[in-house]
Amino acid sequence: MAMFFGSIAEQNWIPARQWHGKADGASADEAMVLTVTSSLTRFIERQYGIALKVKLIEQFVDQLDGDEARILGCAAGTKALRRQVSLVHRGGVMFDAESVLPLAEIPTEMMQALQEGREPLGNLLQERGLVLARSDLSVGRIQCKGDAGTEERWARRSVLRSPSGASALVIEAFHPLFWRRIDSQKLRHSRV
């Protein structure tokens, strides 16, 4: 069970190719961010000038539940590294991310960098020459705990895969502050 976001089976995910951003209530920027298939953090920095820092919340060895295992093509109960982080800009949390990586597939040289918890997962994989392929990209609105109780947030779920065999199930849920920050960055740049 994903600890940040609850059970995958209880969430309503729509495959990105079937999701209609504007028709489903998303702005153009929300749709662009939610469906980007390259490194999300690098995209956000290039597109909006928002540099993100990783704040490691928790990282531990766990076992894949049945839904996670099915998505990753593994057996239920497979040992995995569960990594929970918040991506922060100027002291504010922009989004939370949870990654689940089957341990047997993690290259040894990457374990130390993962344990340090300083970089986004996609960047860690790319910096080690592991070409990424993002598959099974899905979008949805999920219930998350916020400052004022439970709130619905835009989220995305995908699987990162590299030719080395490493794979990770990644769920990212975006805080309302993130979308406000994008709007203020766009406004600032339009005035220049």
5 and 12 Cβ atoms separated by less than 8 Å: no
Residue with tokens 């597939």: 105
Kindly tell me if the per-residue pLDDT of 14 is higher than 50. Answer: yes
H or E stretch at 30: helix 28-35
Kindly tell me if the per-residue pLDDT of 1 is higher than 50. Answer: no
> Domains plus CATH for the chain?
20-191 (3.40.1410.10)
Prediction pTM value? 0.87
Kindly tell me if the per-residue pLDDT of 120 is higher than 80. Answer: no
Q: What is the mean pLDDT of residues 59-64?
A: 92
Kindly tell me if the per-residue pLDDT of 149 is higher than 90. Answer: no
Q: What is the mean pLDDT of residues 156-171?
A: 85
> Is residue 24 very low, low, confident or very high in pLDDT (cuts 50, 70, 90)?
confident
> Is residue 3 very low, low, confident or very high in pLDDT (cuts 50, 70, 90)?
low
Residue with tokens 């704040």: 55
Kindly tell me if the per-residue pLDDT of 28 is higher than 50. Answer: yes
Structure tokens belonging to residue 57: 């919340």
Tell me the pLDDT of the chain averaged across its residues.
85
191 and 22 Cβ atoms separated by less than 8 Å: no
> Is residue 43 very low, low, confident or very high in pLDDT (cuts 50, 70, 90)?
very high
Question: Which of 43, 61, 63 has its CA nearest to residue 51?
Answer: 43
